[in-house]
Structure 1
Amino acid sequence: MPASTDRREPAPAATLPAYRTDLDGLRGIAIALVACFHVWFGRVSGGVDVFLTLSGYFFIGSLVRHTIHSQSARIGFGETVNPWPRLKRLIRRLIPALYTVLVGVVVLTVLIVPQTRWLNIGRETFASALYYQNFYLAKNSQDYLAASSANSPLQHLWSMSMQGQFFVGALVVLLAVAGLIKLCGARFAPLTRPGVIRAVFACLVGAIAIASFAWAQYRLHIDQPFNYYDTRSRLWEPLVGGLFAIWMPRLRVASWLRGAATVAALLLIATCGWWIDGVAEYPGALAWVPVGATLLVIWAGQTAADAPAPAANRLLASRPAVRLGGLSYSLYLIHWPLLIFFLTWRGTDHATFLEGTGILAVSLGLAWFMKRYVEDPMRGGGRSSMAHIRWPSHPRITYTAILTVALVALSAGSAGAIRAWDRHMSTVTVDTANLDPALYPGARALLENAPVPALDPQPTPLAVADDLPMTGPDGFMSDFTVTEPVVGVYGDPQGHKTLALAGGSHAEMWIGALDAIGKANGFKIVTYLKMGCPLTSEENPTKLEGTPYPECRTWNRNVMEDLKRTRPDAVFTNSTRPNPAGPADHVPDGYVGVFDELTAAGIPVVGIRDDPWPHNDRGPIDTPECLASGGNARSCGTVRTSALHAVDPATAYADRNPLFHRLDLSDGLCTADFCPAVVGNIIVYKDYHHLSATYVRSLTRELSRQLSAALPWTGPQLG
């Protein structure tokens, strides 16, 4: 993140390091790389790592000089440890531009982005405003990849949040150390020597940097999506920059050799985005390439007061590079959301060269405007010609005061709007019948490795309870008291082949997919469905809670008679159920009795394995309630082996009965070891154990493939 900090100290000029305009130019190079790689190449450059290293160099160096000066100038203890002056400068430097962009993002989201994404962007707005966006993204394992219309316009602010956390943490810890030195120095004078103070800070900063780097390297191969955003993993980058501010090698090296070092470092910074996969490798060992190159530039340009800087560093200090560096913060904030909103407006995932050029040009213009009229005035005037405008009748009303009030009002209004929309969305049922499969792949994320953009899942947790199969609203799901079958017709009503869908709600779940397959392949689907009543030969069936269910026995007898009379070309029903006597699933004896009776009559049976019923050690999981209470795909999901055997329990029966065809879509519901509550941006379950209709539709292609293999007359699998 290209934010800089105030490097001016209340110390004698002789104690201050020379102002390094070449490092301003380096920031300009870094922001150019970040913006160009985002807009044109869809890759991660090393620019952010350059910013982090420079931030540590400036900020920690400032704190160390403050500590040394507080000893030599006899500054009191309270002033030594008081974080407010620096914190105030940070706020004035960082917050106004950030909040201006956040307000703009909220407005453009309403104007451009589909409503299904408002909720997530609103939450990211809060996360960015409160400087925890990196952990928000880490928690959601949102890969920082190429820009597309499905990316968040605030995704880039992870580095802003990480840097803000570093600033505050370093400020508190290092000022606390300064206070200890102040207290102990009163009795032990050697502690007040500049060399000793630098050694204390170097040991502390170095130890934390080593721990952070070790953590980053360890987590690299365990949970890299989280590791990429984790402040604990990233902390070593600004800290090694801080170490250079505390102590820098003083080597007598010819100017041309220093210049060659700067050129080599710039080449590494400029090219590492091509030959290092930053998403997969940073902030591990390969992050030392941009970090180490930045340190090399800092070292090469640090010359004696009477010695000329190397030519390469003087080039970095040229007016164009320095001006670009001055715009780096605003440009960083603006370029990414502008790109994302443009891609969303165009409905594309990539910008052409000309479009990218236009985006960069507009970003530069807006960055200049924001620096002149937002950043500079709020930092204390700068060059803004409006910073000190006063109205005669109101001498205390200045441009800065008006800007502050406007930002506060707009930010508060945006926050209120986000909160209102959050509440509104929690009660709105979203039409999910025609979700964009590129944004909501559902089961295709597991079955076909389809990419999953970071979006709020659909339907929403409170809406998914009403995500029902079509047979219920159509009146073809018999209630508990009915004993005579009510037959519905789906698929192609004129089809010459008939597939009978029979059973309870766990058979009914599949009607959405079957209806689409029947329509596409010209066969009819007739339904025999009853609440809580699977197709079974059991003499004493019970409801789920264990109470007797004699109506189910009567209904089953009537359905079996009707099936044998009408002789559909196949019967589609459930083949398994959770095992009440132990973990995983089994084939109930009552199911086997139905399979035997139908196949003995020459009617093929298609038995589909039941879905894994969500549960954990504490019992069943109501998926919508779990998600609405702050849970996620993992915490609301199920360990696969606790719900499903490694092999479909119906396999043995299928092997001995050629008219029985088993279907198993478990791999469309679970990974090899876990069954998440959300897959491919679609909530899997609508309650404790029923699949949502939206998720079933995402399984249509896999169901078609397996069904056509079992019953060739159902037609070729859907493409």
Structure 2
Amino acid sequence: MGKPGFRADIEGLRAVAVLAVVLFHAEVPGIGGGFVGVDVFFVISGFLITGLLWREANSTGTVRLRGFYGARARRLLPASALVGVVTAIGAAVLLPPLQARTAFGDGIASALYVSNYRFLLQGVDYSAPYLPPSPFLHYWSLGVEEQFYLVWPALILGAAWLIRRSRRRTAIQATASVRPYLVILAVVAVISLAMSLVASYWAPFVAFFSLPTRAWQLAVGGLIALTAGQWRRLSPRAAAIVGCAGLAVILVTCRQLSASTLYPGTAALWPTLGTAMIIGAGCAAPDQGCGRLLGAAPMRSIGRISYSWYLWHWPVLIFAPLIVGHSLGLAGRLTAALLSAGLAVLTLRFVENPLRFAPKIRESPWRSLGLGAVTTAVAAAVGVALLVVVPTPVGRGAPARPLNFTALPPPIARGDAASYDEAVKHAFAEVQSAVAASVDLRDVPSNLQPPLADAAAELNDMYRSGCMLSGWQVSAPECASGDTASTNAVAVVGDSNAAMWNQGFRAIAEQRGWRLEMVVKAGCPLLDLPITSPQLHREYTECEQWRGQVVDRFRAEHPKLIVVTMWRQYGPGSGYPAGLTSYSASWNDSLTRLVRQLRDAGAQVLVLGPIPDPHSVPPICLSGHLADATACSASRSRAVDEAGIAAEAAATTAGGGQYADITDLFCTAERCPAIVGNTLVYLDKNHLTIEYVRLLAPALGALADRALAIS
């Protein structure tokens, strides 16, 4: 490998990468796959860093780690820390306290360059799709890059050491041949790609965020660096064709891919190979073909600010709507993106370049490392300090009277519809009275249950209880409660909205002596409709398999009552693109078929209607409105789809089942409060708290009694 010259085309390629990411995050139409810009950055990093390390190892027989890490620290850490500190302070000022505290944790992880693994763990959290995005989310890719910088020199040095030991060569001799290093990089690339493909199917968040499943893209860049001599043999015409083809591949993937694409998966091969083609072709003719475009002054100018622009664009896009007080249209988002570009120019001018090129710092690896350590420590310390300064949000209002609903005992005469209707009416009236008394509540009670900070953990209790299957599971372990030896079996079946009713039905089962079976799977309604999984980013085959097993099981076991319910926000615009739409004609037809199937299995069928849609994450909203809880209550007209409920009720009746509209357990004629008494109703946009479900047990019992008694 010869000495490299400045590659204007690579600087312009950085512009392509950052423009793709920024326009994607600004939701510009036609850039649904702009997230591939990160893949482009990975290949560029692999090429540049591998070339740098190899040239040093080839000329000296070793890698001066202090110099290498010092240069990386001087180049990357000050700007990253600056933006991190500003973002953390912005979160403290602009975000509701509960969301801000989560952001501070994200900021600390980002300062330490492990945020990719923090977001990986958050990504497999079932509640993740319903929570607001972190202003530090984009730092995940910096985590991957910094971890790469930590590992890559050790890989080069380790390879040289093995060659010296096995062939008894000197340090210079051990790095004289590029072939062993090509083999090592190729092995790393193949293993990493295999891991990525497997993880993309089974655990997409792992594949997306982790270094081991992204290393193949960095290794591809490294392979181009080690084979630069072969690439230089291309004729200018061939190089121009290859480079233009590579750029076309990147642009097409930006256009054709989307957030619902299974990624990285095989889709990531395209931008990775496209980038490799551009860089490889540029080894032969950097100013030919697309190199001429990429090397143009405007592209190079954008490329120079690409790092700082990447750092600034996402928090600006997150905070801008909060500053102006309303969501942004396309023009507003583009304006915010341009503002972040202006901040990037200032950061390059006054932070990046002065520290990067300051002679006293540049000439001393120790000073460079010290600069990086200090800026990192400052960024982390600010996050820690804000966690201390911004208190955990708690209610400050007067304690509210705890609620305790009771219900009439089950009527003695089975088949007496009027008596059962009266029991239901009584149970609903008690709850409705409490809801009406709470609709104007302003101060969040000091004895709120659960406390705002504890609500987020409840959804995951559904997994830990063993009752709700994850996206990957198909076969369910037995999940029975109540009198497990009873022949009066009641089954609750559906997705997480069915699982959330567990504690309420369990209380009733213990009172009535029923055997309660929870048959629930995350993101999987029992309806026979095609569905994709936003968590898995692919067809939800496990859901289809589970549905078949559940129906066969009910045919064999003959439960007395099957309670069916599910989330009713599936569809476009829900933030959960599952490929089916609640209340649609196909939805209602499928519901009729399902009810008929279950009735044919010998069971009574009760379909529970939907809970209201609060149109916010109430714990987060309330944390920012401790003195005005009404700001977090939705109007009934907005929270409840009356027409959809009516259509579902008709579909259920057509199948021979009973339908329960439960809206009055949450709403008055006008509003649906987020707090009833001293109880928080919702734990997120789509699920109830365990505490409120327990309060509703008498109403659930009255509905189940009526369904069992009235055929």
State if a TM-score over 0.5 links the two structures. yes
Q: Summarize deviations over 1:163-220 as a string: whole Å, max 9, x none.
A: 11111111222223234445666x3369816552x11111111101100101111122
CA distance in 1, matches of 2:695, 2:141: 38
Map 1:285-684; keep pairs closer than 5 Å: 285-303=266-284, 309-346=287-324, 351-381=328-358, 409=378, 411-419=380-388, 421=390, 424-425=391-392, 428=394, 473=402, 498-499=422-423, 512=431, 578-579=481-482, 586=489, 649-651=559-561, 663=606, 681=684
Structure of larger gyration radius: 1
Structure-2 residue corresponding to 1:134: 116
Counterparts of 2:131 and 2:311, CA distance in 1: 18
How high is the TM-score relative to the length of structure 1? 0.57
Residue 692 of structure 1: SS of its match in structure 2? helix
CA distance in 2, matches of 1:128, 1:184: 40
Structure 1 spans left out of the alignment, 5+ residues: 1-13, 72-79, 389-397, 432-465, 479-483, 486-496, 521-575, 589-604, 615-638, 669-677, 712-719
Q: Which whole-Å CA distance do the structure 2 matches of 1:206 and 1:32 have between them?
A: 30
Aligned to 1:38: 25
Alpha-carbon contact 2:78-2:375 (below 8 Å) kept: no
Counterpart in the other structure of 2:198: 218
Match of 1:10 in 2: none
Aligned to 1:84: 66
Alpha-carbon spacing, 1:695–1:359, altered in 2? closer, same or farther (3 Å): farther
- Stretches of structure 2 lacking an aligned partner (at least 5 in a row): 362-366, 410-420, 440-478, 492-510, 521-545, 564-597, 612-680
For residues 130 and 408 of structure 1, what CA distance do their matches in structure 2 show? 8
Shift of 1:406: 8.1
Of all paired residues, the percent bearing the same amino acid is: 25
Give how far 1:264 is off. Answer: 2.4
Distance 1:512 1:238 in 2: 59
Partners in 1 of 2:213 and 2:371 — Cα distance?
40
User: Which amino acid in structure 1 is aligned with residue 271 of structure 2?
Assistant: P
| Residue 66 in structure 1 maps to residue 56 in structure 2 | yes
Question: Shift of residue 243 of structure 1?
Answer: 0.8
Contact 2:12/2:303 (CA < 8 Å) preserved in 1?
Answer: yes
Q: Deviations over 1:501-520 (max 9, x none)?
A: 89xxxx99x96579659999
Deviation of 1:500 after TM superposition, in Å, equals 5.9
1:52 maps to 2:29: no
**What is the aligned-residue RMSD (CA, Å)?**
5.3
| Cα deviation digits, residues 132-167 of structure 1 (max 9, x gap) | 2222222122799x9999322111111111111111
Counterpart selection for 2:214 from 234, 245, 248: 234
Letter in 1 for 2:204: Q
Q: Which protein has greater RCO, CA pairs closer than 8 Å, 6+ apart? A: 2
Please tell me the residue identity of whatever aligns with 1:121: A
In structure 2, C-alpha distance between the alignment counterparts of 1:192 and 1:217, rounded to whole Å: 37
Kept after mapping to 1: 8 A contact 2:120/2:206: yes
- Deviation string 1:562-593 (CA, Å, 9 cap, x unpaired) is xxxxxxxxxxxxxx9824556999479xxxxx
Displacement of 1:55: 0.3
- What are the Cα deviations for residues 235-285 of structure 1, in whole angstroms up to 9, with x where unaligned? 100111101111133464442332233222222212312212365333222
Which has the larger share of helix? 2
CA pair 254-177 structure 1, distance change in 2 beyond 3 A: closer
- Contact map agreement 1:57 1:238 (CA 8 A) in 2: yes
Instruction: State the one-letter code of the partner of 1:681.
Output: D
Give the whole-Å Cα distance in 1 for the aligned partners of 2:438 and 2:514: 20
Distance 1:324 1:476, change over 3 A: closer
Give the distance between the partners of 2:129 and 2:516, measured in 1 at CA. 39
Q: Is the 8 A contact 2:106 2:115 kept in 1?
A: yes
- In structure 1, the residue matched to 2:188 is 208
User: Given the alignment of the two structures, is residue 283 of structure 1 paired with residue 252 of structure 2, yes or no?
Assistant: no
Query: What's the secondary structure of 1:35's corresponding residue?
Result: helix
- Structure 1 residues 578 and 683: alpha-carbon distance in aligned structure 2, compared to 1, 3 A threshold: farther
CA–CA distance in structure 2, aligned partners of residues 343 and 27 of structure 1:
28
2-side partners of 1:301 and 1:587: how far apart? 68
Give the count of matched residue pairs.
494
State the distance in 2 between where 1:693 and 1:584 align: 29
- What CA distance in whole angstroms lies between the structure 1 residues aligned with 2:372 and 2:138? 25
AA in 1 matched with 2:296: S
Give the distance between the partners of 1:346 and 1:246, measured in 2 at CA.
50
The question of 1:155 aligning with 2:137 is answered: yes
Shift of 1:411: 4.8
Match of 2:457 in 1: none
Q: Which residue of 1 aligns with 2:75?
A: 93
* Structure 1 contact 39–356 (Cα < 8 Å) conserved: yes
Structure 1 residue 22 and structure 2 residue 9: aligned? yes
Q: Distance between the aligned counterparts of 2:88 and 2:277, measured in 1?
A: 40
Question: For residues 288 and 233 of structure 2, what CA distance do their matches in structure 1 show?
Answer: 13
One-letter amino acid matched to 1:325: G
Taking structure 1 as reference, are residues 55 and 190 closer, same or farther at Cα in structure 2, changes over 3 Å only? closer
- Shift in Å at residue 104 of structure 1? 1.0
Q: 1:190 to 1:662 in 2, by over 3 A?
A: closer
Secondary structure in structure 2 of the residue aligned to 1:578: strand
Q: 1:360 to 1:404 in 2, by over 3 A?
A: same
Q: Secondary structure at the match of 1:264?
A: helix
Q: Give the Cα–Cα distance (whole angstroms) in 2 for the partners of residues 59 and 96 of structure 1.
A: 20
Could you tell which deviates more after superposition, 97-106 or 220-229?
A: 220-229
Give the 5 Å matches for 1:99-178: 99-141=81-123, 150-178=132-160
SS at match of 2:133: coil
Q: What is the match of residue 179 of structure 2?
A: 199
CA distance in 1, matches of 2:487, 2:277: 59
C-alpha separation in 1, matches of 2:47 and 2:255 = 26
Question: Is this contact kept in 2: 1:133–1:161, CA < 8 A?
Answer: yes
2:417 corresponds to which residue?
Answer: none
Report the CA distance shift for 1:254/1:703 in structure 2 as closer, same or farther (over 3 A).
farther
Residue of structure 2 in register with 1:272 after alignment: 253
State the shift of 1:407 in Å: 7.7
- How many Å separate the matches in 2 of 1:163 and 1:407? 16
- CA pair 511-475 structure 1, distance change in 2 beyond 3 A: closer
Residues 284 and 405 (structure 1 numbering): CA distance in 2 closer, same or farther, change over 3 Å?
closer
**TM-score, reference length from structure 2:** 0.58
Give matches, 1:179-190, under 5 Å: 179-181=161-163, 187-188=168-169
Aligned residues of 1:335 and 1:363 also touching (Cα < 8 A): yes
Question: Is the 1:609–1:663 Cα contact (8 Å) retained in structure 2?
Answer: no
Secondary structure of 2:335's counterpart equals: helix
Distance 1:91 1:651, change over 3 A: same
